[in-house]
């Protein structure tokens, strides 16, 4: 039995509240159980220097955890003067995941910056951030399109992410913190709505695992992402 009482293939309750921020071109408050992440998408009519003259746009992301998003207060990274390796790794993952489903040429020479702020953490903050970021990005693009229509939709596919792992010898879907902190195998899966893989992060935290276990985790991830895709479509009216 999982600490939450869920079956091995059961997600936490997912909630996506679009337009949560009144100022951003796109925004979404995403909740995976007790993990809550506020995601905003900001449109800039320019591209980074390394993209200038290419006739393409860019999508990038920043990620951070609020001081009391966990059981004890952590100092703001801005106060420390540098980002942790974990923060840099996660925000690069979010950016890669979104660019994997974005037609940068169709986007034109503009940049969209995705900000992911963890309000409350209970495991799976990066996967919740990626899943909510797609909603914020979709809303921002729709806002651009309403003024200057795109010739081609820059976001033809959805992308979502979910964690899976081996807890007490059983592969389980969507780990919360009590499971994540003691899992023998921990993995994050990023998938597109076409069924393709963007990224897989799987680590033996305790016991090593075999190919069949990895495939079982992937099957669980596909089930979880299908549920997330449905929530994304409901949130954006797609």
pLDDT in tens, 100-120: 999 999 999 999 999 999 999
30: pLDDT confidence band, cut at 50, 70 and 90?
very high
Indicate left, alpha or beta for 23 from its phi (over 0: left) and psi (-120 to 50: alpha): alpha
pLDDT of residue 94: 98
Q: Has this prediction a pTM greater than 0.85? A: yes
Assess whether pLDDT exceeds 90 at residue 25: yes
Mean pLDDT of the chain: 96
Instruction: Tell me: pLDDT of 78 over 90.
Output: no
Counting residues of the chain whose pLDDT is more than 90, the rounded percentage is: 94
What is the model's pLDDT at position 205? Answer: 83
pLDDT digit string (tens) for 165-222? 999 999 999 999 999 999 999 999 999 999 999 999 999 987 899 999 999 999 999 9
Q: What is the pLDDT of residue 207?
A: 83
CA separation for the pair 152, 105 (Å, rounded): 9
Q: How many helices (H) and strands (E) does the chain have?
A: 6, 9
d(C-alpha 7, C-alpha 192), whole Å: 25
How far apart are alpha carbons 201 and 70 in whole angstroms?
A: 23
pLDDT at 156 over 90: yes
Q: What is the distance between the alpha carbons of residues 226 and 233, in angstroms, rounded to a whole number?
A: 11
* pLDDT in the model for residue 206: 79
Under the banding of pLDDT at 50, 70 and 90, the label for residue 66 is very high
pLDDT above 90 (res 39): yes
CA-nearest of 8, 79, 6, 69 to 37 is: 69
* CA dihedral sign of residues 34, 124, 26, 65: positive
Please report the pLDDT score of residue 67 as a whole number. 93
Whether 191 contacts 14, CB under 8 Å: no
Contact 137, 71 (CB under 8 A): no
């Amino acid at each position: 039995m999982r600490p939450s009482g869920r079956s091995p293939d059961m997600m936490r309750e997912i909630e996506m509240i679009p337009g949560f921020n009144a100022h951003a071109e796109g925004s979404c408050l995403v909740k995976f159980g007790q993990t809550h992440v506020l995601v905003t998408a900001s449109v800039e009519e320019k591209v980074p220097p390394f993209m200038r003259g290419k006739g393409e746009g860019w999508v990038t992301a920043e990620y951070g955890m609020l001081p009391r998003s966990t059981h004890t207060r952590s100092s703001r990274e801005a106060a420390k003067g540098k980002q942790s390796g974990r923060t840099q790794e996660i925000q690069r993952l979010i950016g890669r995941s979104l660019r994997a489903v974005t037609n940068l040429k169709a986007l034109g020479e503009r940049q969209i910056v995705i900000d992911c702020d963890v309000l409350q953490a209970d495991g799976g903050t990066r996967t919740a951030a990626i899943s909510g970021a797609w909603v914020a990005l979709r809303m921002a693009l729709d806002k651009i399109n309403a003024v200057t229509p795109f010739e081609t939709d820059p976001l033809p596919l959805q992308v979502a992410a979910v964690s899976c792992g081996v807890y007490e010898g059983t592969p389980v879907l969507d780990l919360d913190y009590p499971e994540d902190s003691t899992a023998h195998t921990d993995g994050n899966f990023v998938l597109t709505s076409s069924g393709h893989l963007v990224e897989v992060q799987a680590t033996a935290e305790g016991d090593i695992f075999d190919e069949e276990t990895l495939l079982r985790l992937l099957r669980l991830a596909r089930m979880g992402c299908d549920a997330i895709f449905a929530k994304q479509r409901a949130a954006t009216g797609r």
